Amino acid sequence: MKPRYWFRWMVVQGIPRLVLQTHSRRGDTLARLMSAPAGVHDPIPLLESLRDRGRLVRTPLGWVTTDHELCRTILRDNSFRVAAAEGFVPKPLRWVMDRAELPPNPVSPPSMLVIDPPDHTRMRKPVASAFTPRAIGRLRDRVESVTAELLDALPSRGSADLVAAYASQVPIAIISEMLGFPDSERERFLAWGDAASPLLDIGPSWPTIRTASAALLSMDGYLDEHIARLRREPGEDILSGLVTAGELDDRELKASATLLMGAGFETTVNLISNGVALLVNHPDQLARLREEPELWPNAVEEVLRFDAPVQNTGRINRDDIELAGVPVRAGSTVMLLLAGANRDPQVFEDPHRFDITRANAKDHLTFSSGIHVCLGASLARMEGAYALRALFERFPDLQLDGPPQRRPLFTLHGYSHMPVLLGRRAEQPTAA
C-alpha cells in the first residue's frame, strides 16, 4: 500500500480515532459507544444514558440525539446536508486526500450516500425504478428459489454457521443478479464487502483501512472490466441500464454499483441473522409466528426496530437553527442514533420488549427517512420475511450452538458468525 494512503488514513480516520480513544478513556458516553463495539456488543445502556440527558445532547464530539421525532425531522429537512468523513478535513490537508483518492466506494463522493441535491437526485433517479414495489414483487419467485436451494444444501440434523451458509447467501445472490454479476463471483463480493464495511465507521485502524483499500482496488479493477463488457453486451440488469443510458460517467457508475451491492447485502444479512437470534431467544414469539404466519412481515419490522442493522447516521446543518429548544450554530454535526430512536418510549410502548405484534413497529427509522431513505428497503423486507419464515419452517428445531459472534462495527450491527444446530428437516415447502 502506497505511503499516501497512510497519510490519507491519518487525516481522515487516524486523528478521529485518537480523539475517540481519548474521550472514551475520559468517560464520554458517545465516544464509548462509538469505540466499544469490538468488546461491548450491547449498545442499549449507553444509548439510554444519552437519552436520560435530554432530546439533544452536546458532547465533545458534537451534538447527538436518540429522540425519534428529532431524528425524523432532521432526516426530512433539506436544510441539513449529509455528513461525509471528507467534509471534516481542514482545507490545508485536503491535498493529501486529492493525491490518495480511494476507488469508488459507498462512503465517498460520488456515492449517493454522501452527496446532496442536485447531484444526489441525478444519481438516484436512474436506479430508483428498479426498487419500486412492483419491481420488487417480480423478484419474489427468485428469492423463493434461491432460499430453497440454500436450505436444501444445509445438512439435516447437522450444524452450520448460519451467517456464512444462509443469511449472507440470500441477499448476495439477489443483488448480484440485479447488477448482472455472475454467480461465480458471489464469494469475491462477500469478501470485498466484509473488508470494506468498516469504512462506514469513524476512526478504524490503519490495518483495517489497508485491508479495505486493497479490497476496493480489487473491486475497482473488476468493475472496469465488467462495465466494459456490459457496453459490448448489455443485459436486462440495473447496471446495464445505467451503462446504456449514458447519464453517469465511469466513476459514478462504479460508485453506484458498489453502493447498491453494499446496501443490497449489508442490511439484509444483518436483518436475517439478528432475526434468527431474536426468535430463538424468544420462543414464545416464534410459536406465535407458527400459529399465525401472516404476522411474519410485522415480525420483520420489529426485528428492524429492536435490533437495527444500521445504528446511526449524521447530518450537518447549513444555517443557525434551534433544535429541541437548543440553539445550534451552522456547520454543526448532529449524530442521529437510529437505534436509540427505535427505542424511544415516547413512540414505542415498552420499547425494550421484543413484540412481533407491535402495532407501530414499522415506525422505526432503520431505513432512514427523507430523500436518503434506503432504496432497497422493500427488497430487504421481502427477503428478510421469506428467508426467516422458510428457515424456521424447514428446520423447526433449530437452536444456537453456542454464543453467536457480533461484527466489531459501530454503524452496521449484525453477526459475523452464528453456529447453529439445525435439527430435523421438515420437507414441506413454505406457503406463498
Report the CATH number of the 3-421 domain: 1.10.630.10
Instruction: Evaluate whether 282 touches 383 at the Cβ level (below 8 Å).
Output: no
Query: Minimal CA–CA distance to 273: which of 121, 163, 161?
Result: 163
Kindly tell me if the per-residue pLDDT of 100 is higher than 70: no
Strands (DSSP E) contained in 237-332 are 313-317, 321-323, 326-328
Cα torsion 23, 26, 29, 30 to 10°: value is 0
Comparing 19 with 395, the larger pLDDT belongs to 395
Q: How far is CA 195 from the centre of its chain?
A: 14
Instruction: Evaluate whether 183 touches 176 at the Cβ level (below 8 Å).
Output: yes
User: 388-430 pLDDT, tens per residue?
Assistant: 999 999 999 999 999 999 999 999 999 999 999 999 999 765 4
Q: Measure the CA–CA gap between 65 and 20, rounded to whole angstroms.
A: 18
Q: Measure the CA–CA gap between 415 and 371, rounded to whole angstroms.
A: 29
Domain boundaries, the chain: 3-421
pTM of the model: 0.94
Q: Measure the CA–CA gap between 412 and 407, rounded to whole angstroms.
A: 8
Model confidence at 432, in pLDDT bands (50, 70, 90)?
very low
- Give 125-153 as a DSSP string: HHHHGGGSHHHHHHTHHHHHHHHHHHHHH
Query: What spatial distance separates the first Cα and last Cα of the chain, rounded to whole Å?
Result: 50
Q: Measure the CA–CA gap between 377 and 383, rounded to whole angstroms.
A: 10
Contacts of 254 (CB under 8 A, 6+ apart): 103, 104, 220, 223, 224, 227
Determine what percent of the chain is predicted with pLDDT higher than 90.
80
